[in-house]
């Protein structure tokens, strides 16, 4: 910790951690947040170096919004399998099939896919960004469950793609039944990346930042948490008088757990690995992310 503090000072660095990061990383970070909050913090941070503790697309989004800063991703194995489920060629083919449709890409996508999009969204602003678009028809990639959620909650025709988050997609209606039986008083919160039949049975459908606010603001004292297990640490720390239960044991993202304090120290020492945005796509991808920021 001493070495980490010294390196942070010398590099003028800040450490951002996503809500799914391991407890030790959340505890040493300067800020813990959801994907939108962290992108905005990266853009505004008064720092030379940003250590992004999360997965690759998050560090890439930070690099797009903070082109004058060096963004480090402590472990390059921290990839998002959902983001890898669509290519820029796939998006171009969808556009060719639906020429009147706008393209919205979930922030869980590569910079090359963002570059093919009119705007990006995160779970916390997807409906707002969608409603700010004039198009009746919208292509939404790559998360099919979030796409179906948007279709059900907006008047738009949404063309979806069959990508999914392995952890959220594994949650079944039986998990909901079991959790409700075990914790009948609890509020059930689910991330919009869960299957539609699970989302339909939740009390609240929220991104991770929305869950943090709901847990803080609501009077209830028990919550069933339908998102990746890392969030339980933050919820428990911030609300010691309340109780939080995972909705399903499948809610675990292994690649989020590659970050360790040692790796953070090593990347601050070596200034590697860096979040790399291919130069050919950076300007167009940045425009899509900035459009999201403007629209929200
Ligand atoms: P949030 O935007 O809600 O933090 O979610 C990020 C994510 O990757 C969900 O799987």
State the distance from the centre of ligand 1 to the C-alpha of 196, rounded, in angstroms: 17
- Ligand 1 atom with minimal separation from the 33 CA: 4
Mutate which of 21, 58, 105, 108 for ligand 1 pocket (most atoms within 8 A of beta carbon): 108
Q: Are residues 35 and 75 in the same domain?
A: yes
The residue range of the domain holding 23 is 2-79+256-276
Based on the fold, state whether residues 205 and 248 are members of the same structural domain: yes
Number of folded domains in the chain?
Answer: 3
SS3 188: strand
Within this chain, do residues 135 and 181 fall inside the same structural domain, yes or no? no
d(CA 247, CA 283): 40
Whole-number Å distance, alpha carbon 13 to ligand 1 midpoint, is: 24
Which ligand 1 atom sits closest to the C-alpha of 36?
Answer: 2
**7 lies in the same domain as 72:** yes
- Residues paired with 221 in a beta bridge: none
pLDDT at res. 223:
99
Are 157 and 290 in a shared domain? yes
Summarize the confidence of residues 20-43 as an average pLDDT: 96
The owner of tokens 């990639």 is 141
Q: What is the DSSP string of 75-133?
A: -TT---TTGGG--HHHHHHHHHH-TT-EEEEESSS-HHHHTTSSEEE-TTTHHHHHHHS
> What is the DSSP-derived secondary structure letter of residue 255?
G
Band (pLDDT 50/70/90 cuts) for residue 14 is very high
CA of 36 to the centre of ligand 1 (A): 9
Mean pLDDT, residues 272-288: 94
Q: What is the CATH number of the domain that holds 59?
A: 3.40.50.10800
Whole-number Å distance, alpha carbon 117 to ligand 1 midpoint, is 19
Ligand 1 pocket mutation, candidates 193, 205, 257, criterion most atoms within 8 A of CB:
193
Protein residue closest via CA to atom 3 of ligand 1: 207
| Ligand 1 closest atom vs CA 211 | 3
Among protein residues, the one whose CA lies closest to atom 2 of ligand 1: 35
Q: Residue 91: pLDDT band by 50, 70, 90 thresholds?
A: very high
Average pLDDT value over all residues in the chain: 97
Mutate to test the pocket of ligand 1, among 35, 80, 124, 252 (most ligand atoms within 8 A of CB): 35
Residue 172 has pLDDT above 90, yes or no: yes
181 in the same domain as 198: yes
Q: Give alpha helix (H) positions in 154-219.
A: 166-169, 173-182, 196-199, 208-217
Which atom of ligand 1 is least distant from the CA of 80?
8
Query: For tokens 């945005």, what's the residue?
Result: 277
Shared domain for 130 and 89, answered yes or no, is yes
- Reported confidence tier of residue 20, pLDDT bands at 50, 70, 90: very high
| Same domain (yes/no): 124, 269 | no
Same domain for 44 and 73, yes or no, is yes
137 and 89 together in one domain:
yes
Atom of ligand 1 nearest to the CA of 167: 10
Q: Which atom of ligand 1 is nearest to the CA of 108?
A: 8
pLDDT tops 90 at residue 295: no
Distance in angstroms (rounded) separating the CA atoms of residues 52 and 59: 6
How far, in Å, is the centroid of ligand 1 from the Cα of 46?
Answer: 24
Cβ-based neighbour number of residue 67 at 10 Å: 12
Question: What residues flank ligand 1, with Cβ below 6 Å?
Answer: 19, 34-35, 108, 122-124, 165, 193, 207-208
Averaged pLDDT, 53-81: 96
Whether 160 and 210 share a structural domain: no
Check residue 279 and give its pLDDT: 86
Which ligand 1 atom is the nearest neighbour of the CA of 206?
A: 3
pTM score > 0.75 for this model?
yes
Residues 91 and 45 in one domain: no
Distance 193 CA to ligand 1 centre (A): 8
Angle at 230 between CA 224 and CA 232, to 5 degrees: 35
- Interval 87-115 mean pLDDT: 98
């Amino acid at each position: 910790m001493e070495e980490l503090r010294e390196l942070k000072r010398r590099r003028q660095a800040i450490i951002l951690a996503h809500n799914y990061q391991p407890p030790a990383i959340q505890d040493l970070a300067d800020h813990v947040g959801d994907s939108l909050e962290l992108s905005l913090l990266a853009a505004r941070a008064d720092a030379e170096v940003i250590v992004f503790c999360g997965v690759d697309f998050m560090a890439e989004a930070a690099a797009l919004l903070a082109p004058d800063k060096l963004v480090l991703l402590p472990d390059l194995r921290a990839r998002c399998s959902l983001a890898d489920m669509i290519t820029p060629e796939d998006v171009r083919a969808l556009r060719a099939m639906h020429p009147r449709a706008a393209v919205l890409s979930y922030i869980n996508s590569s910079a090359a896919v963002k570059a093919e999009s009119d705007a990006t969204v995160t779970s916390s602003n997807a409906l707002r960004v969608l409603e700010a678009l004039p198009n009746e028809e919208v292509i939404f990639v790559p998360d099919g469950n979030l796409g179906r959620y948007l279709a059900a909650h907006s008047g738009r025709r949404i063309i979806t793609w069959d990508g999914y988050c392995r952890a959220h997609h594994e949650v079944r209606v039986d998990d909901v039944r079991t959790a409700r039986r075990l914790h009948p008083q609890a509020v059930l919160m689910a991330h919009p990346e869960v299957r539609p039949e699970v989302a339909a049975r939740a009390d609240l459908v929220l991104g991770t930042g929305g869950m943090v606010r709901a847990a803080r603001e609501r009077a209830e004292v028990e919550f069933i948490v339908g998102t990746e297990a890392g969030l339980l640490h933050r919820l428990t720390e911030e609300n010691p008088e309340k109780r939080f239960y995972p909705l399903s044991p499948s809610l675990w993202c292994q690649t989020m757990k590659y970050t360790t304090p040692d790796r953070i120290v090593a990347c601050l020492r070596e200034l590697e690995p860096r979040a790399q945005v291919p130069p050919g796509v950076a300007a167009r991808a940045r425009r899509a992310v900035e459009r999201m920021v403007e629209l929200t």
